[in-house]
């Protein structure tokens, strides 16, 4: 063969295969021998460390202990991480702002900010107050490291012996951690966070610093924070000057400032003071003879200040001031607010009356109320049953499931997409994955045909869910965003209110419909002035006019449907006999939340009741059963006259018609007597004023006196603004004010086509599965 490969020595010209094979074999053999030698040498070396007997047991115990310690460290880190995320040193200061709040008429209603922080150094706080606090709240404060195990056991034993809660188990550091970073929610998770935050505070700050922070940040009742503010409030003097009886009274307020406030319950305050004096003797700080004089001469209270303060509203208003004044370089401010103090008090009384009347029976202990006007002007906020017990504002910060009250946004979206109140729908819905909606009580859809308004009035879950699928859940989310509600997630049961909303934002969402479709973002500040009297912010000047976020037609049709929820549906207990009411009930699964959001032509009011720890209420409790009666009671006293505007889309209530006729006759009589022009001029002049007339008069007098003192001639009186500049435009009443029809015009030719036949690009709803399994939101009603 003539092939180079088979020629003699042809392969060896390129690779010597025999030599390569020999080299490879020898290398592998030598490597294996070396590995065995090293292994044997290592085994012989480590054999000398082999433990037997008790040494081996001790080694095993140490190894297991290290393993368990490492695992425990990982677990502790996992538990501590949420607590460390809550830690924020900026919360040590109430804020860099010092704000004085006024009502609409210019009367001071409260203060917030840094006015009392660090006002008195710890060295100048009386020794008797420090000892009274330690004897009552934490006797081993200077001995423990944030957690007092022995003190907790002692408090537990004392409480068992007394058959009531006499002593608390939380240290001062734990209480400070709760006051600064946490809410008063009673849960294991909150307690774990409190423990780790206490350790963190102890590791970063000295005992004296912690004690000073505690004295400065504790709530002491009457809207005061810190012992200096409390001393000024109750005794009219600095904490530096208090005696033993007054110190004992202040120390007794830390546990429950509202319950033991001498302005609320003097007998309870005196009893608590005597208990603190007993603690001083038991702790060995004083003898019985030394405290005897304090028992015989109790603290005298200065009652020059009101015992109630709109604290819930002020806390929210303070947040609004910080937002509006941010970046403007001014920190000592005066803000005029929108609060109605009478309405605020009535709202607090309405909630507390319901809690006392039905709280134990129906198993709920908390609630929140927001009252605003249709344009978003907030008039009252109630963030909980007792501000002294818990300052967590449930009206503005707690996100709770709205249940069926969320359906208003779904139905409004449907009205924007071709549906009408009279569109015929069916009581059924398609499934979404493995989930199938069911109506209240766990019943599936009946398949019955009924008009859209009746489905809302009966709060049918199947119809609301199907509507969200038909019009598109993304469109529903877009509707909520236009109404100022953020964070709604696209889920199968979204239409049944499975997300979380605050009472404030939910109420403002309903206010958009009461405002004829115009945006109704909540606001509580009318104007802000600096310490020099300069106008820093004016809502009338700085805020744009509200946008039309929902068409008037949709808003009016929605109002007609919501009115029928009250007159013919689930919210019958909210109906008023003197004006029209529109609104929607809501109940979450459990039931854990009960809602009613409703409005008249004058007020929009949201009511929520439930439990802070998310425990379910008594079975059968609904928004129509609990929240609607609270709303009814509050609105009955809130409307002081019958001159109530008409809800857009509804005909005036007969009582409003009578009142309008009476006012028209009165106006005619005033015109005939020549009184009307002067009254109108006075009203217009007052309406355009930012500063109250009394305040303006005092300032003018002061300026005049200063000019005379300096020999400066008086300036000529300026012409009144009302005479030189036109007043702000008053928007003419919308067509809804003169509307005389009861419902939106019927369009019967579309009634049977929008759901039974595809039309206008709307898909035909599919028939729901015959499965009647209860949905997780079957309780939403």
**404 tagged catalytic:** yes
Give the sign of the dihedral formed by CA 123, CA 125, CA 129, CA 133.
Answer: negative
Q: Which of 514, 511, 487 is nearest to 501 (CA)?
A: 487
Cβ pair 397, 388 in contact under 8 A: no
Q: How far from chain centre, in Å, is Cα 554?
A: 30
Q: Any idea which residue has 């290290």 for tokens?
A: 66
H or E element: which one contains 425?
Answer: strand 424-426
User: How far from the centroid of its chain's Cα atoms is residue 640's Cα?
Assistant: 29
User: For this structure, is 137 an active site residue?
Assistant: yes
| Residues 210 and 203: beta-carbon distance below 8 Å | no
Sheet containing 98-102: which strands, arranged edge to edge? 108-113, 98-102, 332-337, 525-530, 535-538
Angle at 94 between CA 268 and CA 486, to 5 degrees: 105
List C-alpha distances in Å: 336 to 314, 538, 543, 569, 691: 11, 10, 16, 40, 9
Q: Following DSSP, what letter does each residue of 89-131 receive, concatenated?
A: GGGGSS-S-EEEEE-TTS-EEEEEESTTTTSS-GGGS-HHHHH
Counting beta carbons within 10 angstroms of the beta carbon of residue 655, is it exposed (0 to 12), middle (13 to 18) or buried (19 or more)?
middle
Q: Which residues contact 764 (CB under 8 A, 6 or more apart)?
A: 755, 756, 757, 758
Cα atoms in the Cβ-side hemisphere of radius 13 Å centred on 168: 17
Residue keyed to tokens 């249709």: 374
Residue 409: name the closest of 562, 564, 571, 596 by CA: 562
Q: Where are the beta strands (DSSP E) in 298-383?
A: 332-337, 366-372, 378-382
Q: For 327, how many CA atoms within 13 A lie in the half-sphere containing its CB?
A: 2
610 within 8 A of 369, measured Cβ to Cβ? no
CB 130, CB 366: distance < 8 Å: no
For residues 283 and 288, give the distance between their C-alpha atoms in angstroms, rounded to a whole number: 11
Q: How far is CA 565 from CA 109, 128, 364, 428, 609, in A?
A: 38, 61, 25, 20, 20
List the catalytic residue out of 231, 366, 404, 429.
Answer: 404
Beta strands in 509-626, from DSSP E residues, in sequence order: 525-530, 535-538, 582-587, 593-599, 604-610
Distances (CA, A) of 326 to 97, 116, 536: 10, 21, 11
| Phi, psi dihedral angles at 311 (to 5 degrees) | -65, -40
Three-state DSSP state, 600: coil
Which residue is associated with the tokens 């203060």?
111
| SS3 assignment for 438-489 | CCCCCCCCCCCEEEHHHHHHCCCHHHHHHHHHHHCHHHHHHHHHHCCCCCCC
Long-range contact set of residues 264-268: C-beta below 8 Å, sequence gap at least 24 = 264/221, 264/307, 266/301
Are 624 and 585 in contact by the 8 Å Cβ rule? The answer is: yes
| Calpha distance 650→581 (Å, rounded) | 10
Nearest to residue 647, comparing CAs of 745, 581, 720?
581
Active site positions, annotated: 137, 404
């Amino acid at each position: 063969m003539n092939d180079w490969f088979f020629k003699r020595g042809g392969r060896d010209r390129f690779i010597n295969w025999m030599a390569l094979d020999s080299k490879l074999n020898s290398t592998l053999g030598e490597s294996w021998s070396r590995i065995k030698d090293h292994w044997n040498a290592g085994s012989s070396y480590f054999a000398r460390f082999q433990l037997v007997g008790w040494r081996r047991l001790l080694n095993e115990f140490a190894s297991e202990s290290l393993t368990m310690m490492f695992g425990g460290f990982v677990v502790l880190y996992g538990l501590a991480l949420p607590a460390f995320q809550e830690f924020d040193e900026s919360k040590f200061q109430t804020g860099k702002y010092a704000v004085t709040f006024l009502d609409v008429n210019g009367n001071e209603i409260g203060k917030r900010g840094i006015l009392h922080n660090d006002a008195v150094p710890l060295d100048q706080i009386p020794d008797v107050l420090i000892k009274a606090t330690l004897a009552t709240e934490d006797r081993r404060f200077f001995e423990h490291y944030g957690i007092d195990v022995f003190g907790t056991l002692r408090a537990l034993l004392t409480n068992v012996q007394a058959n009531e809660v006499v002593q608390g188990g939380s240290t001062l550091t734990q209480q400070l951690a709760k006051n600064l970073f946490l809410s008063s929610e009673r849960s294991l998770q909150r307690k774990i966070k409190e423990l780790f935050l206490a350790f963190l505070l102890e590791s970063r700050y000295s005992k004296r610093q912690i004690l000073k922070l505690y004295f400065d940040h504790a709530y002491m009742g009457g809207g005061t924070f810190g012992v200096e503010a409390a001393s000024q409030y109750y005794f009219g003097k600095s904490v530096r000057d208090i005696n033993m009886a007054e110190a004992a009274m202040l120390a007794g307020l830390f546990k429950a400032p509202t319950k033991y406030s001498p302005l609320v319950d003097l007998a309870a305050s005196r009893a608590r003071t005597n208990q603190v004096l007993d603690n001083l003797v038991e702790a060995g700080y004083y003898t019985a003879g030394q405290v005897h004089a304090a028992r015989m001469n109790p603290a005298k209270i200065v009652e020059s200040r009101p015992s109630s303060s709109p604290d819930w509203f002020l806390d929210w208003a303070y947040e609004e001031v910080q937002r509006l004044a941010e970046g403007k370089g001014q920190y000592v401010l005066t803000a005029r607010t929108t609060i109605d103090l009478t309405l605020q008090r009535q709202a607090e009384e309405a909630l507390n009356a319901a809690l006392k009347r039905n709280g134990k029976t129906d198993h709920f202990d908390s609630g929140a109320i927001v009252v605003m006007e249709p344009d978003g002007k907030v008039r009252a906020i109630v963030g909980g049953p007792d501000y002294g017990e818990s300052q967590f504002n449930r009206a503005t910060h707690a996100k709770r499931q709205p249940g069926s009250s969320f359906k208003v946004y779904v139905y409004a979206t449907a009205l924007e997409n071709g549906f009408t109140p009279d569109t015929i729908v069916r009581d059924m819905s398609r499934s979404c994955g493995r989930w199938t909606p069911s109506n209240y009580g766990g019943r599936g859809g009946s398949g019955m045909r009924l008009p859209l308004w009746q489905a809302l009035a009966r709060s049918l879950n199947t119809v609301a869910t199907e509507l969200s699928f038909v019009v598109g859940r993304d469109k529903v989310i877009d509707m909520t965003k236009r109404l100022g509600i953020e964070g709604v997630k696209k889920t199968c049961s979204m239409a049944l209110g499975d997300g979380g909303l605050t009472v404030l934002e939910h109420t403002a969402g309903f206010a958009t419909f009461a405002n004829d479709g115009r945006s109704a973002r909540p606001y509580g500040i009318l104007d802000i002035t600096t310490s020099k009297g300069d106008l820093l912010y004016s809502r009338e000047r700085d805020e744009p006019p509200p946008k039309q976020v929902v068409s008037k037609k949709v808003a009016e049709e929605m109002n007609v449907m919501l009115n029928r929820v009250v007159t013919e549906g689930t919210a019958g207990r909210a109906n008023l006999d003197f004006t029209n009411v529109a609104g929607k009930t809501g109940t979450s699964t459990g039931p854990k939340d009960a809602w009613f959001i409703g409005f008249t032509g004058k007020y929009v009011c949201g009511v929520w009741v439930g439990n802070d720890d998310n425990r379910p209420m008594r079975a059968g409790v609904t928004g129509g059963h609990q929240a609607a009666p609270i709303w009814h009671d509050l609105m009955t006293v809130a409307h002081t006259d019958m001159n109530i505007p008409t809800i857009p889309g509804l005909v005036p209530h007969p009582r409003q018609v009578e009142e309008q006729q009476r006012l028209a006759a009165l106006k005619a009589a005033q015109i005939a007597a020549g009184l009307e022009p002067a009254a109108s001029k006075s009203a217009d002049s007052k309406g355009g004023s930012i500063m109250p007339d009394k305040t303006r008069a005092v300032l003018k007098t002061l300026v005049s006196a200063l000019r005379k003192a300096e020999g400066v001639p008086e300036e000529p009186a300026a012409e009144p603004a009302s005479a030189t500049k036109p007043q702000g435009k008053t928007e003419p009443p919308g067509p809804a004010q003169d509307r005389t029809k009861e419902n939106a015009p019927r369009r019967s030719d579309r009634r049977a086509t929008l759901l039974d036949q595809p039309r206008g690009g709307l898909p035909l709803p599919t028939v729901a599965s015959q499965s009647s399994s209860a949905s997780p939101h079957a309780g939403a009603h």
